[in-house]
């Protein structure tokens, strides 16, 4: 959807990690310099933004901004066009239908509208007061992975921002799966590791420093919420994909190692060409080649790495890129794909801004590179 003139955006849920990063990106966005985002919370009184997030001081007049109490009337008074929901799944499930009814466009960072299959959605245990209306909203929701659904996102009213693990795994697998090269009957194994911020800001025993430090642990085995997204977006059955997440003792970043078998023998050049072709025009995916430096699939040179280097968290953390690389065994069939991203940026807030850019008719990577 092409938009003329200024766009007014609002963010509900600035207190969390993803909401904080989203506020930072929007305050820096070149298209929003004349109209900074309306920042909203669930409190009863305004709270200065820099009191909650002192590191955001000096960002497009942020010292004068407050996190204001949320109300639909306030959104109308301020002329908001687009609402970001950085809220818990249950809240987003309730708020999005109301926002759409009021003529707002929505980008939801939660899992409320990401999956279509009821069985996949059951893990969230939603209880919709109006099931018919929820079904209508679900039907109009667009899965917000630009590399897969760019054109649909442009005209969307509701974009369901993907999960961080899902983004990492889907971008690692989709080119090969879409080409029909993967022998899914042999199974796909996704071994993923995330920094502690992926669990959110609310403290828990497993994210406590004394638990996470000097430790590495698997969790949500055969039961992670992001699995349904992966299955639906890749078009594979649950029996074909095993996904195991792990908690890394670092603040942020995801590294996913994906093990698969190709149907037919391929060369490394074949596999690299498949990735580069699929991600042509995707400015925020960097393909690490089998015999050269990493580059964005869109063609612009990325950071130069030795040919032997695979993606690492240190290369993508605090950037909006997803880095993808691979190794092919000598038999030409066994393949390992590695993808890395920042779970709070390309895995959350950065991708939300990418979707905003598309919905507003701006350059996809504007304000992100």
The verdict on 110 and 181 lying in the same domain is no
3-state helix, strand, coil in the chain (%, to 5): 35, 20, 45
Q: Which residue range is the domain that position 352 belongs to?
A: 9-162+348-359
Q: Do residue 83 and residue 103 come from a single domain?
A: yes
Say whether both 137 and 219 belong to one domain: no
Does any domain span residue 280?
A: yes
Same structural domain, 119 and 47: yes
- Residue 129 burial by CB count (10 A; 0-12/13-18/19+): exposed, middle or buried? exposed
User: pTM, whole model, 2 decimals?
Assistant: 0.92
Q: Rounded to whole angstroms, how far apart are CA atoms 33 and 339?
A: 33
> What are the two backbone dihedrals, phi and then psi, of residue 322, each rounded to the nearest 5 degrees?
-110, 125
pLDDT at 204: 79
Whether 234 and 118 share a structural domain: no
Q: Supply the pLDDT for residue 291.
A: 59
Considering the domain architecture, whether residues 352 and 337 belong to the same structural domain is answered as no
Q: What is the rounded CA–CA span in Å between residue 172 and residue 218?
A: 21
Same domain, 220 and 75: no
Name the catalytic one among 140, 164, 274, 322: 164
- Whole-number pLDDT of residue 58: 75
Whether 291 and 264 map to the same domain: the answer is yes
Q: Of 258, 274, 268, 271, give the one whose Cα is nearest residue 338.
A: 258
**DSSP-derived 3-state class of residue 140:** helix
- Same domain flag for 154 and 232: no
Q: What is the dihedral of CA 219, 125, 163, 157, to 10 degrees?
A: 180
Residue 169, pLDDT score: 98
- The total of other beta-carbon atoms located within 10 Å of residue 61's CB is 10
CATH code of the domain in which 175 resides: 3.30.360.10
Q: Give the CATH number, domain containing residue 44.
A: 3.40.50.720
Give the whole-angstrom CA distance, residue 224 versus residue 198: 13
pLDDT tens digits for 126-172? 989 899 999 999 999 999 999 999 999 999 999 999 999 999 999 99
Task: Count CB-CB contacts under 10 A for residue 250.
Answer: 16
Let me know: does 285 contact 279? Beta carbons within 8 Å: yes
Residue 369 in domain? no
87-113 pLDDT, tens digit each: 999 999 999 999 999 999 999 999 999
Q: How far apart are CA 224 and CA 48, in angstroms?
A: 36
Same domain for 105 and 208:
no
Closest CA to 181 of 296, 307, 337: 337
**Radius of gyration for the chain, computed over Cα atoms and rounded to the nearest angstrom:** 20
Q: Is the distance from CB of 108 to CB of 158 less than 8 angstroms?
A: yes
Clarify whether 190 is annotated catalytic.
no
Strand partners, 108: 85, 160
- Chain segment 278-311, per-residue pLDDT in tens: 999 999 999 998 854 455 555 544 444 444 589 9
- Crossing angle of helices 89-101 and 131-140, rounded to 10°: 80
Query: 88 lies in a domain?
Result: yes
Q: Give per-residue burial for 130-163: e unless 16+ CB within 10 Å, then b.
A: eeeebeebbeebbbbbbbbbeeebbebbbbbbbb
Q: Which residues contact 58 (CB under 8 A, 6 or more apart)?
A: none
Q: pLDDT means per 10 residues in the chain (369 residues)?
A: 70 94 95 94 90 81 86 97 96 97 98 93 89 95 98 98 98 98 98 88 77 88 94 97 96 97 98 98 95 52 54 97 97 98 98 98 97
pLDDT at 302: 45
Query: Is residue 96 a part of any domain in this protein?
Result: yes
Do residues 214 and 269 share a domain?
yes
Residue 148 shares a structural domain with residue 63: yes
3-state helix/strand/coil string of 242-288: EEEEEECCCCCCEEEEEEEEECCCCCHHHHHHHHHHHCCCCCCEEEC
What is the residue-averaged pLDDT of the chain? Answer: 91
């Amino acid at each position: 959807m092409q938009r003329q003139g200024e766009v007014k955006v609002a963010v509900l849920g600035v207190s969390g990690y993803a909401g904080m990063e989203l506020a930072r990106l929007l305050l820096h966005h070149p298209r929003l310099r004349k109209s900074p985002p309306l920042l909203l919370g669930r409190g009863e009184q305004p709270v200065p933004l820099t009191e909650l997030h002192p590191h955001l001081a000096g960002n497009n007049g942020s010292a004068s901004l407050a996190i204001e109490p949320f109300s639909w009337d306030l959104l109308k008074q301020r002329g908001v066009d687009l609402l970001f929901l950085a809220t818990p799944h249950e809240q987003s499930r309730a708020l999005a239908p109301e926002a759409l009814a009021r003529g707002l466009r929505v980008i939801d960072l939660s899992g409320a509208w990401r999956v279509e299959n009821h069985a996949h959605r059951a893990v969230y245990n939603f209880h919709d007061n109006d099931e018919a209306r929820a079904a209508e909203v679900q039907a109009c929701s667009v899965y917000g992975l630009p590399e897969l659904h760019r054109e649909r996102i442009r005209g969307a009213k509701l974009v369901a921002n993907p999960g961080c693990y899902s983004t990492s795994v889907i971008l690692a697998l989709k080119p090969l799966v879409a080409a029909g090269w993967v022998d899914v009957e042999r199974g796909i194994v996704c071994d993923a590791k995330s920094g502690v911020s992926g669990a959110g800001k609310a403290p828990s025993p497993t994210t406590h420093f004394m638990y996470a430090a000097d430790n590495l642990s698997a969790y949500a085995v055969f039961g992670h919420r992001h699995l349904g997204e992966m299955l639906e977006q890749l078009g594979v059955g649950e029996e074909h994909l095993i996904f195991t997440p792990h908690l890394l003792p670092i603040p942020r970043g995801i590294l996913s190692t994906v093990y698969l078998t190709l149907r037919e023998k391929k060369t490394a050049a074949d596999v690299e060409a498949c990735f580069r072709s699929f991600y042509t025009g995707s400015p925020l995916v960097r393909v690490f080649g089998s015999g050269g430096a990493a580059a964005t699939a869109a063609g612009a040179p990325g950071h130069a790495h030795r040919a032997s280097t695979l993606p690492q968290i240190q290369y993508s953390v605090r950037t909006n890129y997803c880095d993808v690389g691979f190794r092919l065994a000598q038999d030409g069939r066994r393949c390992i794909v590695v993808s890395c991203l920042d779970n709070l940026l390309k895995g959350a807030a950065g991708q939300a801004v990418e979707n905003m850019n598309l919905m507003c008719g701006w350059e996809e990577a504007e304000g992100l590179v």
